[in-house]
Structure 1
């Protein structure tokens, strides 16, 4: 036989005629049969309900039978999920898999959610996505290292904890106690939600950034970086939040694209012309440098005006006056339109020729402002000349450092002008009345050319949702500029999914020249530094930090305020530090940035043997946050990234693609999704598996939408899957795979073929899970069920399942395949729907009481299932069948007798392996054709009836990797079957009307 003759086989099919059209079989047909206890083996059961001859054989038909519920909803669904979690040991699964023997470890490091509120759908997307991968790894036999944690410090927690309390009246310890209580409450609520979602973890051993041992490890990393000179204290501009009264890092900003600033065009009169241009004919005494700024309040702190040396500049004359203005040449036309006045170029020169020029400050009498070359000047907006206030700009500060300019700050931490700004400005808020006053001062000095509103992107405090300003301050910094190259090199070895996110990560890394890590708050990890009372010099070294870290590990960081100074700085530490008496010092009051808190989780949580995770999985906002802070601290200490892979998912939006907000009323609460809302008709209880399916079927690498439509669709998808699983369970009633399974080599070819498809399905699903492409798992699952099972296999096997004798080899062969399919599909979906999978597993045959699916491994398959020639035999038959079916649209195939004609060759041998005799009503070929009788010949008979329906096609066989190729033509003739309809199986296989066919007669054991 051909099936045993050939070795490695590949298959290529070329569509001929009407092609392969398996979808003509209704995917839901098997569900209808499963529902009805009076259904026959094929056809419409209701159509024949009145046939007395058929009714008496109903009880002899082996219809599906199972107590697995067709549908669970409402409270029954919720109760069942909770019951499954208890019966199947969801809470013990993590510990069990850690204790078993395993050759490989899989470490997914949990980025800590913020402990500042209730669980939300963003948490659901993130935690469920992680859990799906972890459960897959457990099933395939790996040790999963996954320790959930929480980010517990920071300003939002402090503010929420304090509420309307008067902060001025509370000590740091009182503030910390209230913040801790608030964070613990949020952690408790979030943890309960994560457990209800079925997230696998040891929930009694999580990590918390306010835990003393964690804080001690954090200080150890801090000290290692400080000893390398990467952490230092300096006076330089930082983002300052007036509303929160603290410095902020870049990662703590969000940019409001609709912010409106009062922009001005202002002039700086030229006092000393540039030496290279002084001899020109132009009268520089009437010239002024024109600048544009969106922050007029910074003008009193101006120390210079910068130009681009390699750009052309011009003196232009205003058509409405004799005033000369210095602007970039390429900006003239834009300025003409913006100012509404004609500007005529008088002379043009290169920017480098402006060097040495000096201007007068427009509002500060007697103050001189130099013209300086700088490469940060751009021509996209403004005049091509940039007002420079080193106290209020990062690039401005760089110019001041290069040219040794003073960094003069006239603004305090409340964002109000100080006395140094003069009596006219003193006490005014810079973003309010202060801006008004500066603009008025410009007008009074004749320096205001134009005022306008400018809508642009502006940094906001991401927690307070209020604008920030830039102020110089003595803060603690990490020198990220010196780490960038190492970080980029480490990232080259990291896999990023999707790869497009790598560019954003690198861009954000490039923008960060230094990282301000000190915060002026109480709720956080204290920076372990002491300051000399007279000189202000910091005392910090490995001796002082090591001692404080030991105290934190024992007592927690509250001891920074609880213990006396001589306990924090004992004599032996002072001696090793070569410092003076303890009375010369005072403890610092700043705490560490929470991004540093969470950025060192790799050191505090990951295995000490190799503190590097296989993967970090977080939202795209972490490209500038946790992903980056973890990378920088790890590279600083160990010269390598803390992760081998990064998976970056999108944000959750409403179904309309809008950001969720209470004001819009589009917030989706995951707790309501699971348990239902106040009005169950509007917000029904969906259970945890629907939430998990929503995550799985979403394209998580873009923005993820959620709402009633998405949830209802997820519920419907699970119902369809559930009914498929119920059909499989129903047809396995009474079957024990341990004793009744058929050897794969003895199974019907179509059953073997499904095992072959199941093996391919399992491999594709494994690949998709491994790549975090869970939506592909869902698509593969749905395609396998609808195309390969419902539309193809289930339609073919029902006659054999229902009408053969219970223990016939053909039926047992089918049940063997069905059991493998049930097992494979259940395992494939288990990481996504653990509640449903465990429920199915408890109903499936062949398991001992107390067994659970997640203890039993991944999809099982065998290379035996890929039998040489098998795919060609079944696919060839399907091509022939599709040609036949396309010739009888709307008719029942069982009404026909087929004659298949194939010239001698490979295709004929393949079909002969499915039907050895020339004519048969019960061959595997007849079953595949879904007809009542099939004739296999080398040529069509000459005496075909006139009503014969004929069709032709061609099938290309490719064997042994292309070593054997043969294209075979075939012809099919269909005629109404001359036999009678059997009242039991309803196929036209009975020799006498109203009598049983030979097969049914044999099953019932006697005459009809």
Structure 2
């Protein structure tokens, strides 16, 4: 019973992999749910991945981090609850299910059915992928946001917000995606720095009398207000021009006409208008208020429009007079609302102009391209000679993160949640939350502080309906009572019936309402869906873990809905808390060159590419050119997991061939060590006396395990892997196992390999569970028959590995001694390498060592270990402070500093002959045995 050859692959035996996979996932989860105390329950609440495609390594990293956390908790003796979830509503699924964003001709029910089928299939496919990377969870109790029970709970959360008066409907500007034909929330935007706009300087004629303004009273001729805009397509929606009360303004003459601009912008205007003269100077902005101008796009019969004041106007750019379209900007909307100016946005859902955009000749704009595809130029053509000039401007601009098309601001009637009134409670709740990394606290708090309302309605069919009714006059009705009635009907008919039933079906109308009503067609923002997922847990979860982008997404929506719901719970007492006790965020997964993965770049990496070895490409084989030898065998699930564990996830994580090569090497190293341990385990070693070397190795193991668990507990998996790798390379391989070989092969076969084997597997269990399971399945029969030995994944991490009664030396003293022994050991090895370099010796046994130590403290440590130093250094003999031969056949020396004391190492020829059994140079003559080997041979039973 051996592991497969580690030189061939770092992957578990594929024939047994499915069996081991079940044992380390489903079986382990079920076992811990029955055997760990319920009062120790640790809940990790899943941030639902989106069910619209194959998994990439970013998904894998996220789920692996979660899986490692709950495995560690099981080792700590806790019962874990981890129920995977999926986000299943929203536009991307709807678009993918239908093949495009065009849903004309399809009923909402047809759209919903198609989207549900796609989401259901994707959930199953993604679940299989997660299971293939050894993620253990309560898969049978997985949840999705499209589950009937989930939708009802979500509506209950929504009902609580309505009961408190936090939900309202308003006609105001929101982020609008013309490419998706729906409103968007801030969290659904991505900002690009390379957006190019056609910016324009426009003039509007002043039509009111300006004679009452002393500075303007003597001006003769036509006077225009000059504005600058980066969105010329919004000019049909212009309702006012804003100035700042405290800015100074001037009139420059261009030809026979005057242009009103901010005095500080005169110099900048020379780039657009090379020839002009200043005719009026230093008019206060406050004196310009009340002047009226005409926007010819509003039509000949439209009334003049006012110049108003606004605090946000500056002289940093443009003309110092700001084109104000309350239907297309939040600041514009707010300042116009103070003056009783209504919002106006003459574009439709797809970004095409409506007939109101140019009432005098509607077809000139209704036949124009959309505002995303040339609509601005159509407007500029209509403005004609009033366009003073245009230029291209590259600047930051919001995009729909799904369609990758620009987003606009458009006034529509939408449902909003009042976040401003609960933000203080939300911020207070965060004070008791642990953030990993700590910088996440500032980020989440800044998003909460900067938000006053949340647009929660979407104009799509695939989602949870907003339970609103509208009377014959178009007025909305939504109360806790009407929602309760709608929920009761939905429980009987499902949420799809909201869309399939007749629009005025009386069954949906609460008995207390009189008259005719129709149901609304808006659905909820998917962030409200996933943000309500805390209803799946009992109380706050111990951990939420997602990418750093969720500070403005799921983390925020979860916090806000949880806090709002607590505020209206009638029987609630005590302070408001967050839905999570610890909030962990990880960075993005980038390719090996540090680039973001995207389909257009063709650099998206899926977990299978790591597991099957294809990402590493051909292996180098001695004597053959690269690409001509064997290929890397599949790395298996443990490779993806070890990659995720080895990276500092608090920043962006890279993956590529050069990143994975050390992972491959580490897995082979682990398997090689485990194979050696399995081949050397000896039942008699349980009773063999422990040497001082054994006890040093136990302290090193104990300290390593403590450091690893401390790192695991702090979610610093990369530090834990670093500690494991250092221990494997230095303390275990180069120190203990190297020194133990003679005892294993030629001595009593003792040592502490069993504790090391179990301790090593305990440390690896959260990261490489398949390797641990495979190794455990190959343990010797005498270990398998020991019913007290549980699988390392099920053992309590800190339980004793060795009976304390077997230890003869205090651990603190061993640690101090080990520092000295290790320092001298390294010096001996370095001196031996000098001799090997000169080809004086091959095996380290072909020498003797003389240590010259002046420091009494260091000397006393070495003296205490003198009977084991030849074993520890793997040489034939060691002397301390003995005379050094004057003219040996050869000699090498090196002086080092150990514990602030100088130690001189002399490597010399051996003093005796080579033993033909153990190969140590301690026999009295050639072809004879040393005393120890004579005793062993003599004591052996006759054949």
Q: TM-score range by the shorter chain?
A: 0.7 to 0.9
> What's the counterpart of residue 833 of structure 1?
768
Per mean C-alpha deviation after superposition, the further-off stretch among 625-634 and 275-284 is: 275-284
Contact 2:530 2:558 (8 Å CA) reproduced = yes
Per mean C-alpha deviation after superposition, the further-off stretch among 501-510 and 562-571 is: 562-571
> What's the counterpart of residue 666 of structure 1?
603
Q: 2:868 aligns with which of 919, 924, 939?
A: 924
> What's the counterpart of residue 759 of structure 1?
702
From the superposition, tell whether residues 751 and 165 of structure 1 become closer, same or farther in structure 2 (CA, over 3 Å). Answer: closer
> What's the counterpart of residue 295 of structure 1?
231
Name structure 1 gaps, 5 residues minimum: 1-64, 916-922, 957-966
Contact 1:261 1:455 (8 Å CA) reproduced = yes
Contact 1:94 1:200 (8 Å CA) reproduced = yes
For residue 717 of structure 1, give the secondary structure of its aligned residue in structure 2: helix
For residue 214 of structure 1, give the secondary structure of its aligned residue in structure 2: helix
The whole-number CA distance in structure 2 between the counterparts of 1:393 and 1:752 is 73
The whole-number CA distance in structure 2 between the counterparts of 1:147 and 1:378 is 53
For residue 793 of structure 2, give the secondary structure of its aligned residue in structure 1: helix
Q: Give the C-alpha shift of residue 900 in structure 1.
A: 3.6
Contact 1:655 1:705 (8 Å CA) reproduced = yes
Matched, 1:425 2:365: yes
1:964-983 paired onto structure 2 within 5 Å: 970-983=903-916
The higher relative CO (CA closer than 8 Å, separation ≥ 6) is in: 1
Q: What TM-score do the two structures reach when normalised by structure 2?
A: 0.88
Q: Give the C-alpha shift of residue 971 in structure 1.
A: 5.0
Matched, 1:543 2:475: no
> What's the counterpart of residue 55 of structure 1?
none
Contact 2:10 2:664 (8 Å CA) reproduced = no
Q: 1:721 aligns with which of 667, 670, 693?
A: 670
Task: Give the CA RMSD over aligned residues.
Answer: 3.2
Q: Give the C-alpha shift of residue 768 in structure 1.
A: 1.7
1:371-520 paired onto structure 2 within 5 Å: 371-421=307-357, 422=359, 423=361, 424-428=364-368, 429-432=370-373, 434-443=375-384, 446-520=385-459
Q: 1:183 aligns with which of 119, 122, 126?
A: 119
Q: Give the C-alpha shift of residue 326 in structure 1.
A: 3.7
> What's the counterpart of residue 523 of structure 2?
591
The whole-number CA distance in structure 2 between the counterparts of 1:973 and 1:518 is 81
> What's the counterpart of residue 91 of structure 1?
26
Matched, 1:748 2:748: no
Contact 1:275 1:356 (8 Å CA) reproduced = no
From the superposition, tell whether residues 785 and 353 of structure 1 become closer, same or farther in structure 2 (CA, over 3 Å). Answer: farther
From the superposition, tell whether residues 218 and 233 of structure 1 become closer, same or farther in structure 2 (CA, over 3 Å). Answer: same
From the superposition, tell whether residues 570 and 619 of structure 1 become closer, same or farther in structure 2 (CA, over 3 Å). Answer: closer
> What's the counterpart of residue 873 of structure 1?
817
> What's the counterpart of residue 562 of structure 2?
634
Q: Give the C-alpha shift of residue 324 in structure 1.
A: 4.5
The whole-number CA distance in structure 2 between the counterparts of 1:116 and 1:852 is 38
Q: Give the C-alpha shift of residue 630 in structure 1.
A: 0.9
For residue 853 of structure 1, give the secondary structure of its aligned residue in structure 2: coil
Per mean C-alpha deviation after superposition, the further-off stretch among 205-214 and 896-905 is: 896-905
Q: Deviations over 1:357-386 (max 9, x none)?
A: 443336445643333232333555433332
For residue 239 of structure 1, give the secondary structure of its aligned residue in structure 2: strand
The whole-number CA distance in structure 1 between the counterparts of 2:217 and 2:478 is 61
The whole-number CA distance in structure 2 between the counterparts of 1:507 and 1:541 is 32
Q: 1:159 aligns with which of 70, 79, 95?
A: 95
The whole-number CA distance in structure 2 between the counterparts of 1:250 and 1:165 is 21
From the superposition, tell whether residues 463 and 952 of structure 1 become closer, same or farther in structure 2 (CA, over 3 Å). Answer: closer
Q: Deviations over 1:463-494 (max 9, x none)?
A: 22322322211111111222333323323332
> What's the counterpart of residue 645 of structure 2?
696
> What's the counterpart of residue 210 of structure 1?
146
From the superposition, tell whether residues 342 and 722 of structure 1 become closer, same or farther in structure 2 (CA, over 3 Å). Answer: farther
The whole-number CA distance in structure 1 between the counterparts of 2:50 and 2:498 is 24
For residue 141 of structure 2, give the secondary structure of its aligned residue in structure 1: coil
> What's the counterpart of residue 527 of structure 1?
466
1:800-949 paired onto structure 2 within 5 Å: 800-804=743-747, 808=748, 811-812=749-750, 814=751, 816=752, 818-845=753-780, 846-848=783-785, 852-858=791-797, 860-861=799-800, 867-887=811-831, 889-891=834-836, 892=841, 893-902=844-853, 905-915=856-866, 923-937=867-881, 940-941=882-883
For residue 895 of structure 1, give the secondary structure of its aligned residue in structure 2: coil
For residue 574 of structure 1, give the secondary structure of its aligned residue in structure 2: coil
For residue 812 of structure 2, give the secondary structure of its aligned residue in structure 1: coil
The whole-number CA distance in structure 2 between the counterparts of 1:574 and 1:835 is 60
From the superposition, tell whether residues 261 and 399 of structure 1 become closer, same or farther in structure 2 (CA, over 3 Å). Answer: same
Q: What TM-score do the two structures reach when normalised by structure 1?
A: 0.82
From the superposition, tell whether residues 67 and 838 of structure 1 become closer, same or farther in structure 2 (CA, over 3 Å). Answer: closer
Q: Give the C-alpha shift of residue 933 in structure 1.
A: 2.0
For residue 204 of structure 1, give the secondary structure of its aligned residue in structure 2: helix
1:9-408 paired onto structure 2 within 5 Å: 66=2, 69-71=5-7, 73=9, 77-86=13-22, 88=23, 90-102=25-37, 103-163=39-99, 167-272=103-208, 278-279=214-215, 283=219, 286-310=222-246, 312-315=247-250, 317=252, 321=255, 323-337=257-271, 347-348=281-282, 351-361=285-295, 363-364=297-298, 365=300, 367-408=303-344
For residue 473 of structure 1, give the secondary structure of its aligned residue in structure 2: strand
For residue 111 of structure 1, give the secondary structure of its aligned residue in structure 2: coil
The whole-number CA distance in structure 2 between the counterparts of 1:255 and 1:942 is 75
From the superposition, tell whether residues 337 and 904 of structure 1 become closer, same or farther in structure 2 (CA, over 3 Å). Answer: closer
From the superposition, tell whether residues 153 and 952 of structure 1 become closer, same or farther in structure 2 (CA, over 3 Å). Answer: closer
Q: Give the C-alpha shift of residue 624 in structure 1.
A: 1.6
Name structure 2 gaps, 5 residues minimum: 567-575, 619-630
Contact 1:883 1:953 (8 Å CA) reproduced = yes
For residue 920 of structure 2, give the secondary structure of its aligned residue in structure 1: coil
Q: Deviations over 1:156-205 (max 9, x none)?
A: 21222223698443332222211111111111111111111111012111
The whole-number CA distance in structure 2 between the counterparts of 1:882 and 1:792 is 9
> What's the counterpart of residue 780 of structure 1?
723
Q: Give the C-alpha shift of residue 623 in structure 1.
A: 1.9
Q: Give the C-alpha shift of residue 731 in structure 1.
A: 1.9
Contact 1:759 1:861 (8 Å CA) reproduced = no
Q: Give the C-alpha shift of residue 726 in structure 1.
A: 1.5
Q: Give the C-alpha shift of residue 973 in structure 1.
A: 4.7
For residue 390 of structure 1, give the secondary structure of its aligned residue in structure 2: coil
For residue 140 of structure 2, give the secondary structure of its aligned residue in structure 1: coil
The whole-number CA distance in structure 2 between the counterparts of 1:647 and 1:90 is 23
The whole-number CA distance in structure 2 between the counterparts of 1:842 and 1:377 is 74
Contact 2:221 2:257 (8 Å CA) reproduced = no
From the superposition, tell whether residues 564 and 417 of structure 1 become closer, same or farther in structure 2 (CA, over 3 Å). Answer: closer
The whole-number CA distance in structure 1 between the counterparts of 2:323 and 2:632 is 57
The whole-number CA distance in structure 2 between the counterparts of 1:490 and 1:998 is 74
> What's the counterpart of residue 16 of structure 1?
none
Contact 1:211 1:556 (8 Å CA) reproduced = no
For residue 464 of structure 1, give the secondary structure of its aligned residue in structure 2: coil
For residue 700 of structure 1, give the secondary structure of its aligned residue in structure 2: coil
From the superposition, tell whether residues 883 and 668 of structure 1 become closer, same or farther in structure 2 (CA, over 3 Å). Answer: closer
Q: Give the C-alpha shift of residue 885 in structure 1.
A: 4.9
From the superposition, tell whether residues 324 and 90 of structure 1 become closer, same or farther in structure 2 (CA, over 3 Å). Answer: same
For residue 79 of structure 1, give the secondary structure of its aligned residue in structure 2: helix
Q: Give the C-alpha shift of residue 231 in structure 1.
A: 0.7
Contact 2:211 2:218 (8 Å CA) reproduced = no
